[in-house]
Amino acid sequence: MKIGITGQEGFVGKHLWNTLNLNENVALVPFDRSSFDSPEQLGYFVSQCDVIVHLAAMNRHENQQTIYDTNVNLVESLIAACEKTNSRPHILFSSSTQENKDNLYGQSKKKGKDLFIKWSESGGGKFTSLTIPNVFGPFGKPNYNSVVATFCHKVANGESPTIIQDNEIGLIYINELVAEIIHAIENRTNTKKLGRNSREYEITPPHRLKVSEILEMLLEFKANYMGNGVFPDLTDSFGKALFNTFRCYIPETHFPVKFTKHTDPRGSFVEIARTQTPGQFSFSTTVPGITRGNHYHTRKAERFAVISGKAQIQLRKIGTDKIITYHLNGEEPAYVDMPIWFTHNITNTGEDELITLFWINEPYDPDDPDTYFEDVNL
């Protein structure tokens, strides 16, 4: 199945792209925002796709009319390209819970949906409208994508968030939303029929919390995890999602974190990890010059603790070129925790054997390993 994503560099688009890229039965069709300015490029794009997930949109602008005009023009351009090339893909459209509200952003989503319905019913392809609730997750843009992104960034960087209205909000984690979109692509959702070739799927937010409850959890992560290295309870789905989101806003300079080493005439003692959640401990020995890892996880929390020898730990966010490098020495035992969607490795840079302890919040399951191999150094 050939799938293209308009807005593939955006928050939702990038997560959807990265997840679909793990599916060997999917061929992703690259999209560049500039294609909307070139009917030829846009026509070539739509002609290559079996499925198009239309996420490209303007959310904020000082002129509300600009938001409306831009979003409607994007839809009209996509439809025109399909008609010109006689392409009939299945188009999934990211609508919003605001589409029936009295604002031009919501009205632009409603107008876009109506245009896609008309196109599909007049002989175009299949159309599915997705009503998407508030989304949060790693790499969201603070002061733009969600209150969660804003609060995570502020708390992790020592700022004080302000609650303007302590409302209860419905939330969906980005991994959950991506799964819903994929189910809609595969026709595995309970959709409402809009016409012969058009459907609507209103995604229900699986989590409902007050803003103050979210902030309280983040402040606990700051105090217990950043302050004392303690992993929170990761058995609750929302708690784990919020924690993995929070971790991606922690400054790079927070790591490596040195352990407290207790020494007496008998030797020394170091506490590796204190957790409020189940997990699995393991250790490895690595001979000089050897590298381990070069993989990433999409949901697991993992700690690398160097207790003997010298090591270099490298991380790189999937889809980027920047490599983060840490140097650790067992003479001053320290740890680095691995964020999700960061491929990582560890290399013995010393002359002696390297001993590393690992903690991860899920015991290894060969049927669901959540381990994807990609070299840190491209």
pLDDT tens sequence across 7-66: 999 999 999 999 999 999 999 999 999 999 999 999 999 999 999 999 999 988 889 999
- C-alpha span between 87 and 103 (Å, rounded): 33
Q: Is the pLDDT of residue 145 over 90?
A: no
Structure confidence at residue 339 (pLDDT): 97
pLDDT of residue 306: 98
Q: What's the DSSP call for residue 129?
A: E
pLDDT in tens, 185-228: 998 888 899 999 999 999 999 999 999 999 999 999 999 999 99
Per the prediction, the chain carries an average pLDDT of 96
Interacting residues of 37 by C-beta distance below 8 A, sequence separation 6+? none
Determine the average pLDDT of the residues in 297-313: 98
Percent of the chain at pLDDT above 90?
A: 92
Q: Round to whole Å and give the CA distance between 220 and 217.
A: 5
- Which residue segments constitute the domains of the chain, with CATH numbers given? 2-132 (3.40.50.720), 254-373 (2.60.120.10)
Identify which of 31, 33, 28, 6 has the alpha carbon closest to the alpha carbon of residue 18.
28
Q: What is the pLDDT of residue 188?
A: 87
Quick one: DSSP state of residue 196?
S
Catalytic residue among 68, 105, 249, 326: 105
105 belongs to the catalytic site:
yes
Q: Report residue 283 CA to chain centroid gap.
A: 29
**Mean pLDDT (whole number) for 354-371:** 95
Cβ-count burial 157-187 (b if 16+ within 10 Å, e if not):
eeeebeeeeeeebebbbbbbbbebbbebbee
104-121 and 64-85 are packed helices; what angle lies between their axes, rounded to 10 degrees?
A: 10
* The model's pTM: 0.95
pLDDT for the residue numbered 96:
87
In the chain, the percentage of residues whose pLDDT exceeds 70 is: 100
DSSP letter at 306?
A: E
Confidence of residue 100 (pLDDT cuts 50, 70, 90): confident
Tokens of 365: 């399951």
CB atoms within 10 A of CB 355: 18
Q: Which tens digit of pLDDT belongs to each residue from 321-343?
A: 999 999 999 999 999 999 999 99
**Element at 337 (helix H, strand E):** strand 334-338
149: Cβ contacts below 8 Å, ≥ 6 apart: 136, 140, 141, 142, 143, 245, 249
What digits encode the pLDDT tens for the residues 221-249?
999 999 999 999 999 999 999 999 999 99
8 Å CB contact between 35 and 200 = no
Q: What's the confidence (pLDDT) of residue 59? A: 87
233 DSSP 8-state letter: -
Q: Tell me the C-alpha distance between 137 and 246, whole Å.
A: 8
pLDDT of residue 378: 85
